[in-house]
Copies of this chain bind each other. A is one copy, B any other.
Amino acid sequence: MIAVLGGTGDLGGALARRWAKAGLNVAIGSRTAESAARAAEALSASIGCKVASGSNVDVAALSDIVVVTVPFAAQEAILASIKGAVKGKLVVDTTVPLIPPKVMRVQLPPEGSAAVRAQRILGDAVTVVSAFHTVSAEKLADDEPFDADVLIFGDNKEARARVVELAGKAGLRGLHGGVLANSAAAEALTSVLIFVNKTYKVEGGAGIRLTGEFVLPD
């Protein structure tokens, strides 16, 4: 099972929807089991597949892969709360270090990236991969294909490859972006995209594509 913590939010809800539609076994987590249950029922009714739910900690404990889609300000507390439940598992962190009100300004944390911060909080017994930073939640929320890549970072290549596959299940091209520390690039780019969206009035939100001829790795 794949848990989506913060699954009542825009990004988490959209990922849960796409993965459930692709046939994955999805559980929505939220701060309270009640709000998660409401979101899961609405999603189940909309797409006609059963979606599980529970508190963030409960769905994390029941799942093999745990995707964290929470605001930067909530990252530390939520990761600390699930630390015991995700030992030996894959945690996919999507956190972008946006610090209101200056969300159009790159403000990377002292660790260099929110992803490295996640690894520090969770400890070495957890495999952290980061991804989905630059994806427009608005475009992801409807079922249409859209023009964007997902950069995927992690120190473990096999774990990254699992998230490349998850991006594919969500209808997006996932690309290996290197070590976890490289997550700084996609996290910083998100503030740039917010600036670009405002400056160029980009409806639904800009995305990124890597250009060139790619040869798939072995």
Contacts and interface: CB of A to CB of B under 8 A. Distances in A.
Interface string A196-207: 110111111111
A31 interface: no
A105 B209 contact: no
A210 B212 contact: no
Contacts of A210: 193, 196, 206-209
B184 A108 contact: yes
Contact of A106 (B147, B184, B202, B203): B184
A90 interface: no
A54 to B, nearest CB: 35
A189 interface: yes
Contacts of A159: none
Contact of A200 (B151, B184, B217): B217
B211 A148 contact: yes
Given A202-B214, A203-B213, A205-B212, A105 B178 contact: yes
A77 interface: no
A208 B206 contact: no
A2 B204 CA distance: 38
A166 interface: no
Interface in A78-101: none
A208 B207 contact: no
Interface in A163-218: 175-179, 181-182, 184-186, 188-189, 191-193, 195-197, 199-217
A104 interface: yes
A123 interface: no
Given A196-B176, A200-B175, A209-B209, A105 B214 contact: no
Interface of A: 104-106, 108, 112-113, 136, 146-148, 151, 175-179, 181-182, 184-186, 188-189, 191-193, 195-197, 199-217
